[in-house]
Amino acid sequence: MGSLGELCLKANREAEVLSGVKATHQGAENEELEVARDYDAWLSQETLLARWMRFWLSPQRTVWLNTPVRWLPEAISLRPTDRVLDIGCGYGGVLIYLQRRAGITAAMEGLDCTAIIVERGRKEVLSRGLQDKINLRLGVATDLPYPDASRDVVLCTYVIKHMSDTLLRQMLLEIRRVLKPGGRFCLWEAAPSRYQFMQSWNEKLLRKGLTSNVHLRSLEQLRTFMEEAGFTDLRPYGIGLYYYYPPLPRAGFIASNPAV
């Protein structure tokens, strides 16, 4: 692994790429770039909170941060030849786990809007000798840099809390565009608490290090967004509590892109 300083320099160079990314919705683009800048600035720090976040992003802790991934290969009927995309891939932990667990032979793709995360993730992939199997790239969820109907499976975990309703709708339509007919989509995210005092506490913690708002949505709210986007066969998935943060609920779905 390179030093944090080296990662920051490379991240600053690669962050310039984001300035040229044109999302369909101009306002959405600006909001996504704000989140990217926040994470780049935050994760380059040596504060206790930044170190804590980098600790949890490590692929070694994937099954703790992304607990539902343990059962995902069976739940989503993952096949070795499936072409998988992970939106908001972080350090690539979910892809690394699935590649080994399911023996994926097709090239896997990860996308993240944060340059310093992508750079570190590429090093994690390289250190495991998976550079020919997993490709991580910089980009935004509302303007996916992939052809139509090119993915069998799309994943999106712990991303949409950073997205306004407008951004979320746009991302879901983009996911449908890149999914093959009959393709599968899995999403999970932190959910609202039933208690207002816990809701306020959770939102405050989730905004640490960020200037953007946090949007926590219930299972039924997620269902509405996904059905409006045209997804079918919705099955709740990943619901429950964070292991490393018990007060915070989680909501999610597995869904299908309708066959033509």
What residues contact 110, with CB distance under 8 A and at least 6 apart? Answer: 85, 86, 89, 92, 95, 121, 134, 135, 136, 137
- Non-local (6+) Cβ contacts of 211 within 8 A are 34, 38
Residue 217 has a pLDDT of 93
Looking at residue 32, what is its pLDDT? 81
Contact 176, 149 (CB under 8 A): no
**Ordered per-residue pLDDT tens for the chain, 260 residues:** 445 555 555 445 444 444 444 333 334 457 788 888 888 887 888 888 778 778 878 888 888 778 899 999 999 999 999 999 999 999 999 999 999 999 999 999 999 999 999 999 999 999 999 999 999 999 999 999 999 999 999 999 999 999 999 999 999 999 999 999 999 999 999 888 887 777 777 777 777 767 778 889 999 999 999 999 999 999 999 887 665 555 678 899 999 999 87
Domain range enclosing 219: 4-256
What pLDDT was estimated at residue 20?
41
| Both tokens assigned to 1 | 């692994």
pLDDT at 246: 56
Number of domains in the chain: 1
CB burial class (10 A; 0-12, 13-18, 19+) of residue 96?
buried
Q: Buried b / exposed e across 233-248, counting CB within 10 Å, b at 16+?
A: ebeebbeeebeeeeeb
Retrieve residue 217's tokens.
């949505």
Q: Which CATH number does the domain housing residue 119 bear?
A: 3.40.50.150
Q: Determine the Cα–Cα distance for residues 71 and 23; give it in Å rounded to an integer.
A: 33
Report pLDDT for 24. 31
pLDDT at 168: 96
Sign, Cα dihedral of 33, 148, 85, 8: negative
Distance between CA atoms of residues 86 and 154, nearest Å = 6
pLDDT at 198: 76
